[in-house]
Structure 1
Amino acid sequence: MKSKIPSEEVAVKMNEWYKLIRAFEADKAEALKREIQYELEDMEENQDLLLYFSLMEFRHRIMLDKLKPMKDGDCQPPFSEMLTEIEMNQQKLTGLLEYYFYYFRGMYEFKQKNFISAISHYKRAEEKLEYVEDDIEKAEFLYKISEVYYHIKQTFFSMNYAGQALDIYKKYELYGMRRVQCKFIIAGNLMDAQQHEKALEYLECALEHAERLDDHYMIAAAYYNIGHCMYSLGDFCKAAEDFERAAAGFEAHSFQQVIQAVFSLTHIYFKTERYSDAAASYARGMKSAAEWEDEIYMTKFRLIKELYQGDGGQDSLKEYFDILESKELLADTEELLQDAAHFFHKRENYKAASYFFSRLVGVQKRLQMNNYA
């Protein structure tokens, strides 16, 4: 009779699998996952380890979807199906497994741009953080929660968590990429706090670090963030140069973030009345957004085109703003509402300007409420 594989041996491999997932080592993670699946069939019974496998498989899918978002027709089971299976066993999850459940669910909700739901799950995970012994795992959690707080402009919380994560990552030389990302988050929060010069120092330091790492994604991201900072400082010419360098970097290596960079570039061209450049950039951005099936950015592209080159009506703009607000994209909505209000005021369409200023105040109140939530 064939002897059963000890569950402890499989658990060690699962921990290695998780490390590969965190490092985005997709090919190695896939190979180890297949090996673990094979061994599970001959493993001595251990229900906790089977639950652990289900959670890691879900986390594995999040990693794969970030590298290459799932399209209709893909053979992988949908996220909703995986979630249903895990939630059926949720009452059996305790300690570290319960931490992973809420943490991974928070990551999924963040990916779906459901930021409030993401925070809710992250906070439940934080209650179980005492079960996490690995320093890097704690840093990863702190970074992830700082990221979602940044997206809803809860500046104090985001800065606090990003700073804690950075302090841990500084102790480990191998986590240079995460140190760069923490600096991005801190710089973004400094910009929200109107401390642009200080933010620029963090970003230039992050760019130098990314170049030393020779990380194409991080270099492009650094240029994007510097462009955003220069835009906030009113240097549209320099910002456009940085956004173009970011877009070219993302595009050359097939990163989805090319859409974001091209949108920012298109926005500047429209604002500075470079309409020929704006038209070309708009087409480039819509093409990328369609290829990546990014409905949010398709909405944002249509919104700025309607604002700057539409027939002057408000109905389409209202519809686009409704979509952004319904997705809780309040920071994006705030910036674009400011543009709309100033645009109509400049053209002495005071009725439209008043509407968008009023709507802007409402969004800013919601953002303030989030800061005290």
Structure 2
Amino acid sequence: MTRLIASQEVGNMLNTWNLAIQKGDLSAAIEMQDDIDKAIESMEENQDILLYYQLLSFRIKLKIQNIRRNLDKPFFQRNAPDEKEEKTNKLMSYYFYFYNGIYHDYLQDYDKALSYFRIAEKKLAYVDDEIEKAEFHYKLAVLFYDLKMTFLSKYHAQIASDTFNAHETYVKRQINCRLLHALNLIDQFKYDDASDLFNEAEGMIKKIDDNHLIIHLYYNMGFLESKKGNYSDAAELYRRILSYREIEKNDLLKLRCLYELSRVGILTQSKEAIEVIDHGYSLSEQVNHEIFKVKFKLLKELVYDVTESQLNNINTLCLELEEKRVWVDLEEILVDVAKYLERRGLLQQSLDYYKRALRASQYVGKGVN
């Protein structure tokens, strides 16, 4: 008969696992997971430990942005915890709203993401751990960055950064905050300041030799080079990212990288553009990411010569993004369409898309209803 493992023993394993996830030590956390999964299967019955395990399992998926399995309903999206007087229940209620916020940010469903974060913020008093509070502010800063609400993003990122900087063992989270600060600087057109922060972060990453962080750094550096119009340098950085095996465990970053490499390929009329677009669309189907599916379809329309049916397809896809209220993506891709039409001498149609991009920009940075 197989010996049942004491739930307290598994609880200690989960605490060690949580600490690795908190510190952003994803390599160690991923290595621990197999042993923990096996321990859970052989554990004596304990619903609290099982809930803790389920929470951390989803937490690490969110950390590495790989949610291709069980994407429809993560376990705590199904029903909110019954919030009784016990502090454990109140804490689980906080996590329910916090992680749903992160999950919907991943899906680019920003209305729901911000709604969940707002509820979670009201429950932050139930969290005693200052690192967990810093994590909340960091994730909220990421959402505000995605919404192009730059000053709010910088405000919450600074709160998180101050906490992480006070703890020497949280170097990886300190790096994450620097990368986010740099992205906000790019949105303010402070390219030299952003580059300085990237260089500082690169020095920190080399000291700890972390490939998970280096691919994030290279993506952000590629984004900066693209904004500066250095498309060949940007493309080289995106290709470098795709050569790392760690990118295969990060669906969202891989999608973003393929998308930006596709955009650069179209602008430079690269022969690889169609292949990269097809790769990106295939991945977006595998992970069921609706926004990226539409975006890759749109990019493919911009590869070929203009036809009447193509113009209709472009308009239909842009309307679909408008219905999904992804204004940041729309502002960017409408400009891509306008430039494409302008290069082909369709100046009136190009002007119409520039006007649509201007309208989309009026929603950017103003939050959601």
Same fold by TM-score greater than 0.5:
yes
Asked whether 1:87 is paired with 2:85, we answer no
Q: What is the deviation of 1:295? A: 4.1
Q: Per the alignment, do residues 124 and 6 of structure 1 end up closer, same or farther by CA in structure 2, a change over 3 Å counting?
A: farther
Alignment of 1:1-373 (within 5 A): 15-16=15-16, 18-22=18-22, 23-24=25-26, 25-26=29-30, 28-29=32-33, 31-32=35-36, 35=39, 41=45, 50=48, 54=51, 57-64=54-61, 66=64, 68-71=66-69, 79=73, 82-84=76-78, 86-87=79-80, 89-90=82-83, 95-249=90-244, 254-256=249-251, 257-274=253-270, 276-312=271-307, 313-370=310-367
**Structure 2: runs of 5+ lacking an equivalent:** none
The letter for the 2-side match of 1:151 is: D
Aligned-pair CA distance for 1:30: 5.8
Q: Which stretch shows the higher mean deviation, 325-334 or 151-160? A: 325-334
Answer whether contact 2:127 2:133 (CA < 8 A) is retained. Answer: yes
* CA gap 1:58/1:164 in 2 versus in 1, 3 angstroms: same
- Could you tell me how far apart the structure 1 residues matched to 2:11 and 2:100 are? 22
- Please report how far the alpha carbon of residue 157 of structure 1 lies from its aligned counterpart in structure 2 after TM superposition: 0.8
Instruction: Provide the rounded CA distance (Å) in 2 between the counterparts of 1:33 and 1:254.
Output: 18
SS of aligned partner of 2:170: helix
Q: 1:21 to 1:175 in 2, by over 3 A?
A: closer
Alpha-carbon distance between aligned partners in 2 of 1:56 and 1:93, rounded to the nearest angstrom: 19
Say whether the 8 Å CA contact 1:149–1:157 is kept in structure 2: yes
Matches of 2:77 and 2:150, distance apart in 1: 31
Aligned partner letter, 2:113 = A
CA shift, 1:325, in A, is 3.3
| 1:294 to partner: Cα distance | 4.0
Map Cα deviations across residues 266-320 of structure 1 (whole Å, 9 max, x no partner): 211211223x232343344345445545443332222122123153442211222
Contact preservation (8 Å) 2:105, 2:113: yes
Alpha-carbon distance change, 168 to 252 in structure 1, aligned in 2, over 3 angstroms:
closer
Tell me the amino acid that sits aligned with residue 261 of structure 2. Answer: L
**1:211-251: per-residue Cα shift (whole Å, max 9, x none)?**
22211121122111111111111222222222222222367
TM-superposed CA distance for 1:87, in Å, is: 2.0
Q: Distance between the aligned counterparts of 2:268 and 2:65, measured in 1?
A: 34
Q: Is the 8 Å Cα contact of residues 217 and 250 (structure 1) preserved in structure 2?
A: no
Tell me how far apart the structure 2 counterparts of residues 124 and 145 of structure 1 sit (CA, whole Å): 12
* SS, match of residue 69 in structure 1: coil
For residues 318 and 92 of structure 1, what CA distance do their matches in structure 2 show? 53
Are the aligned partners of 1:162 and 1:182 in contact in 2 as well (CA < 8 Å)?
yes
Using CA pairs below 8 Å that are at least 6 residues apart, which structure has the higher relative contact order? 2
Residues paired across the two proteins, number: 355
Alpha-carbon RMSD: 3.3
Counterpart Cα distance in 1 of 2:359 and 2:66: 37
Offset of residue 207 of structure 1: 2.0
How much does 1:330 deviate? 2.0
Query: Which TM-score applies when normalising by structure 2?
Result: 0.82
Native 8 Å contact 2:107 2:289 kept in 1: no
Structure 2 contact 219–257 (Cα < 8 Å) conserved: yes
What is the TM-score of this pair, normalised by structure 1? Answer: 0.81
**Residues 116-145 of structure 1: per-residue CA shift (max 9 Å, x gap):** 211221122222223322221112111111
Q: CA separation of 1:286/1:240 partners in 2, compared to 1, >3 Å: closer, same or farther?
A: same
**Pair 1:136–1:290, CA change in 2 (3 A):** same
When structure 1 is superposed on structure 2, of 29-38 and 194-203 the one drifting more is 29-38
Distance in structure 1 (CA, Å) of the matches to 2:323 and 2:304: 25
| Preserved contact between residue 207 and residue 223 of structure 1 (Cα < 8 Å) | no
Q: Given that residues 342 and 353 in structure 1 are in contact (C-alpha distance below 8 angstroms), is that contact kept between their aligned partners in structure 2?
A: yes
User: Alpha carbons of 1:243 and 1:147: their partners in 2 closer, same or farther (altered >3 Å)?
Assistant: same
**Contact 1:21 1:60 (C-alpha < 8 Å) held by counterparts:** no
Could you tell me which amino acid in structure 2 is paired with residue 358 of structure 1?
Answer: K
Report the residue type matching 1:87 in the other structure. Answer: A
> Compared with structure 1, are the counterparts of its residues 140 and 287 closer, same or farther at alpha carbon in structure 2 (3 Å cutoff)?
same
The answer as to whether partners of 1:10 and 1:40 remain within 8 angstroms in 2 is no
Q: Which moved more, 1:256-265 or 1:145-154?
A: 256-265
Note closer, same or farther for the CA distance 1:110–1:137 as it changes in structure 2 (3 Å cut): same
